[in-house]
Structure 1
């Protein structure tokens, strides 16, 4: 263990007194716990703690607790198997619920452990000048989730005395890498799995549309190097208590009636089982069912069409489920995405699946549309009725692989999903962007909603995610929120977006317009001064984000947007200067406005990284809001009369 000199006793006593005088506040936790009750006081971690491990605590989870304590400034971590009679420094108890030391520690705080899978309890209590913090899991996954909550608590150095009882609302929570265009790299997937763990997600589906061995060449074996990389990725997922699900997309060429194709799929899965993958998925989206791929299907199922396709797919998938049950009796059920994956209207195809598909098989559904503007409980109930089972929501947010997203990052909060959906869904998987790190802004919201949809705080989760990306730095956090606002647009497949663009910036501009149009001289000056201050912050935000405090993957993948934002920020500064000059009757206003127009043109010409997304193009920064204001500003104040 590492030791550092302790403070002199007098100084330590003063520090402890000062710390005890600080108000105790409950933290903003993401996801929000089901129940959190403050009991008074706080446990300061200090520099030395004792870690008490239950007998069945896995080594990796215990190692994670040590990392968290070290990051919180703890120098010395002693170990013990039970709590002593006298608590002379903070004791951290970790373990699953049937461990005697855990039960004893929970009893000290009159805390009980949730009965649900993946549930956990955290109980912290002040004992004399120190205290006990207990992290208890219903199972090993629950303990891991408790540690992730402890990670958030420990950043403050003082753990409020409280009892948390928590468990997930939905059994499946996470992401499906299901977009078109450039897939994530293995390094990006590793980063994403590490991130998913922090928001208590438990599922990652590997389904990149541009992996040829998962779609166009699905019958072929993976090259050894690729198979090895997938095995490493699956091991990373296990370490993070995430179910790695491998998805195959045979639909474009499969012959449902041909035993050889069923055997080819089983061989593929056998190879993947050999590297530690035990969960599987068959994707049948984005294919035609107006024609068969082989004569055998026509002979077996009759003329092509929706109902025949449903029968053929059900029979094929039932065979896959039977194979998996024989090989992996304890594994999760097969997941499938149907050809009719959106809306909940009944149809001959859905009726065939409802009648013939093995009830164990999980069906994915994207909501009322491919990119739905909202999802309600009645929507989900209709899907349950149509497919004959509760569905797993494939939420196409924040994916940016369709034409309406050209030039955009999608960074608005995850919202307009109705509280209570957990009663009608088996879970939610977000389809993220080609840009992994920026995707975390929305994915954190998806995971938080799936964990506790009834207490989900979209705005609070959004801000907390920005703070995490900024490494806790407040200036970088505010810079990120300014940037997020410029990428607030959430398009659909139609012309009407489901989230508006740049609401914070628009509110500022509306205030400025109103003050200039309707206010007196003092109101105009105040509004223009406020605009100048905000323009300076806007222009400075990209450099604050690039300064090294923000996740480097986020900076690299957002590069052209940050470049364009900086140019737009300078244009906004010049616009504010032009309005100030015009308000004072200065002839320099025209020059400021002309320079602003020039910079705006340069900003609008910045393009996305070639090949990074399915549709390349000029990047968009608060479009329809910022560009309009810069263009309109010269007309807001009439120039002085010519002399």
Structure 2
């Protein structure tokens, strides 16, 4: 396990202690290492092997098992030339110590009865070639750049890279191949690995908006990239004002020192630090002064060791010039913008990149970075931009659900330059309430080969939580031919859990409920499958176990996860996951009680459920603007299960349930569609994208009812233009055949009245034209005529008599006062029918007492029982009745009735 289990400071100190020791003669053992670890009482017995090549990630391309094996001896000799990669030596040495060696010493030849490890390719350690020949293994000469050969045989290990980076990657693979023990004696199975990257440029671009990474997190990320064979980091944080808003200004010394530290750390991990300067908000493309300001800024960081540069021109307007001189030089329009940008970039390429031997090809991000549609802008850029400039592209879409071979080829064609994919995953700055922990998905095998450059992934605001999906991205970019998202995801979770089985299980459960994204459509695939099995089998034990695991997972992770910074990143989501575990287990118990016929306890459980769900939705974090952002976990699975459990209880009670909102649009953050039917004008549904023609918001009345007035209130303060600009109100009984009620255009508030006698279950507002604005619906209200409820006492403000018999146990009739003697609440049944039972539900705290009576066919009232508690189910002997009433006992508290249910 890497991460916090092998601190780099320890590596450096250990290297200084041992690798600087002169070579030891063949016949003599070196002096004992006073710092060597002693075996633990819990170590496995000598000779046990705990790892195989399957533990190596990214997945190697070619692995062949051998019949021999190597043993970790007390002292291990490392043979390495003067040019051997220092980083590879550090990693190798620490891996051997972790595997049980007590000392690792430098030597020039093998020592009998001692493991010898050769580190370095042909240009680093010539002796490695002889060692590989002894093992019968071909060297790395025929491999691509950064490829390596790793051989393990009898008393011998050989690491040979095509280049220094390849040797470093061989050391990283050895680190994962060797066991971890407290003493010598472990056996390592013989193996031959020939491996190389399938993508030349592989890594991360820190390009998100929102809460930035800390300097410590950036340093840690660079360590992580090296461990996972990623070779580029693009420094483009939106919080660095000297990259964007104040790009012309020099850095303060303290910030420049931090950049230098990042550059040094990146170089030590074989990661190319790329400096991305974004002048587009204010640059005058034709200005010699601005061109000099840009190249001067590049010169400043060149002196720090930066050799790769980018000029992002994304997220700016190209229809508005920043200076009149640009309009005078190029005119107006998208083609003019493309020409101006090409001019600026070519000057930087010629004046700076070409003038600095050792500089990598310049990178740029076009303003049209998200599709492959030909345009005047792209044409101008393609034709006028220097051929060696690399163009960054996000796929077909800002966040592309899929990226295919054909799309990558089309990007090369339309931009006519090498493509570096800026892949916006797992970035979550557009869904700041979410963690995106699912695997890299939807990227076709063979796609990287069509790009011409490589792939950089844009991570989350949460640096440490980003590591799980980034491990899968490293896996794909190294070996896309063998990549399987699910397998890679499970491997990533196992690795990140540090070999702790309990932590691994908890992390898998937590990642499952934070799985979905634009590239992973399924939320909580494991738990969703478990829930589906429950509804099919009605066996609650397995599902309760899964939900208990969810409830417990946060505490397990807090106690056992090696990298505790993940906990800091994920704290509100962990809290929410635990609370959702409690809420969903309560929902499951509700269903079980209702199915067992325990109506009273089921009703008690049902009343607890809304509070538990509200608690699960209550967790927040504070963003850069000081706003409290509610976090979301398991959206569409956990919340839906509680809703479905309540619906099952409704079904068994014999009620329809409350009205619900439906929509074809995604919700932005926590502004779910349920908010448009909650009766509160201060809450709202807010779509996560603009409405297209055919998109709709719908009120489901749960059953066919007589409808009257309809009111649709859209837009809100601060987003006054977020409403359907053109659409129709429609109604339907079956959700398939629709009739138009009214058309509207340019109205944020729409009202209509259905013709007398109109019956419908669904009422919807449907867009008849596309638009660029998102949609806010504060309230979508539909008047209905339900069972007639009369009598008293009169309802309190905000309540109604009809709430006592509307089919929604969540809406409560609350009286304004205590009942008077002889006063009654009456529910008319709309005709005479045979009644077998009457159930009266009072909410928690409701304690009014009443006689329950049915009105017989001859108009007389028959008392069938009394109500004096929260749940009362009374049997009626098939009486023909036209009404039911609660004849209150005078005095006492004001009555509250959630529902009168007549069967």
TM-score of the superposed pair, with normalisation by structure 1:
0.90
State the match for 1:603 in structure 2. 616
Matched, 1:320 2:343: no
1:63-112 superposed Cα distances (whole Å, 9 cap, x missing partner): 2222222223322223212235x4x1322211122432110111122222
Q: Does the 8 A contact of 1:354 with 1:386 survive in 2?
A: yes
Say if 1:181 and 1:613, in contact at 8 Å, map to a contact too.
no
Partner of 1:40: 67
1:292 aligns with 2:321: yes
Q: Which residue of structure 2 aligns with residue 335 of structure 1?
A: 363
Equivalent pair of 2:149/2:160 in contact (CA under 8 Å): yes
Aligned residue among 566, 575, 578 for 1:563 = 575
Q: Name the residue aligned to 1:523.
A: none
Greater share of helix: 1
Alignment match, 1:140: 164
How far the C-alpha of 1:639 sits from its partner, in A, is 6.2
Deviation at 1:612, TM superposition (A): 5.8
SS of 1:214's equivalent in the other structure is coil
Q: Distance in 1 between matches of 2:38 and 2:314?
A: 62
- Give the Å deviation of 1:2: 4.1
Q: Describe the superposition over 1:233-288 as per-residue Cα deviations: whole angstroms up to 9, x where unpaired.
A: 11111111100011000011111111100100111111111222121110101111
Matching of residues 123-272 of structure 1 within 5 Å: 123-125=151-153, 127=154, 131-155=155-179, 158-272=187-301
CA distance in 2 between partners of 1:448 and 1:300 (Å):
47
Q: Is it true that 1:353 corresponds to 2:378 in the alignment?
A: no
Q: Which residue of 2 aligns with 1:577?
A: 589
Q: Does 1:381 align with 2:403?
A: no
More displaced 10-residue stretch of structure 1: 374-383 or 406-415 = 406-415
Say if 2:551 and 2:580, in contact at 8 Å, map to a contact too. yes
Structure 1 match to 2:117: 92
Contact 1:182 1:613 in 2 (8 A): no
Per the alignment, residue 621 of structure 1 pairs with 633
- Structure in which a larger fraction of residues adopt strand: 2
Q: Are residues 1:362 and 2:390 paired?
A: yes
Shift of 1:457: 2.5
RMSD of aligned residue pairs (Cα, Å): 2.3
C-alpha deviation, 1:293, in angstroms: 1.1
Whole-angstrom distance in 1 between the partners of 2:348 and 2:291: 8
C-alpha deviation, 1:613, in angstroms: 9.2
Q: Distance in 1 between matches of 2:86 and 2:233?
A: 23
The equivalent position to 2:602 in structure 1, one of 589, 608, 611, is 589
Q: Is the contact between residue 48 and residue 90 of structure 1 (CA under 8 Å) also seen in structure 2?
A: yes
Q: Which has the higher contact order (CA 8 A, sep 6+)?
A: 1
1:474 is aligned to 2:507: no
Aligned mates of 2:100, 2:606 — CA distance in 1 = 52
Work out the CA distance in 2 between the residues paired with 1:280 and 1:15. Answer: 52
Mean CA deviation greater in 136-145 or 462-471: 462-471
Distance 2:368 2:145 in 1: 32
Unpaired runs of 5+ residues, structure 2, are 1-32, 181-185, 655-836, 838-872, 875-903
- 8 Å contact from structure 2 (residues 91, 172) kept in 1: no
Shift of 1:4: 5.9
Q: Where does the alignment leave 5 or more consecutive residues of structure 1 unmatched?
A: 492-496, 517-526
How far did residue 162 of structure 1 move? 1.2
Which residue of the other structure, out of 113, 128, 132, is the alignment partner of 1:106?
A: 132
Count, aligned residues = 610
Mark the CA change 1:142 to 1:613 in structure 2 (over 3 Å): closer, same or farther: farther
Question: Equivalent of 1:433, from 460, 477, 491?
Answer: 460
SS in 2 for 1:68: helix
Residues in 1 aligned to 2:152 and 2:362: alpha-carbon distance in whole angstroms: 40
The one-character-per-residue Cα deviations of 1:612-636 (angstroms, maximum 9, x if unpaired) are 6998521111111111112222443
C-alpha distance in 2, partners of 1:550/1:589? 42
- For the 8 Å contact 1:93–1:102, the answer to whether it is kept is yes
Residue 436 of structure 2 is aligned with which of 401, 407, 410?
410
Return the alpha-carbon distance in structure 1 between the equivalents of residues 583 and 245 of structure 2. Answer: 47
Moved more, 364-373 or 274-283: 274-283
- What is residue 885 of structure 2 aligned with on the other side? none
Cα separation, partners in 2 of 1:430 and 1:134, compared to 1, 3 Å:
same
Distance in 1, matches of 2:446 and 2:421, equals: 14
| Distance across 2 between alignment mates of 1:161 and 1:614 | 57
Contact 2:404 / 2:443 at 8 angstroms: preserved in 1? yes
Deviation, structure 1 residue 464 = 2.1
Contact 1:26 1:160 in 2 (8 A): no
Post-superposition Cα deviations, 1:493-518, rounded to whole Å, max 9, x if no partner, equal xxxx75221111111111111113xx
Q: Is the 8 A contact 1:30 1:199 kept in 2?
A: yes
Quick one: distance in 2 between partners of 1:502 and 1:616?
25
1:181–1:612 Cα contact (<8 Å) kept: yes
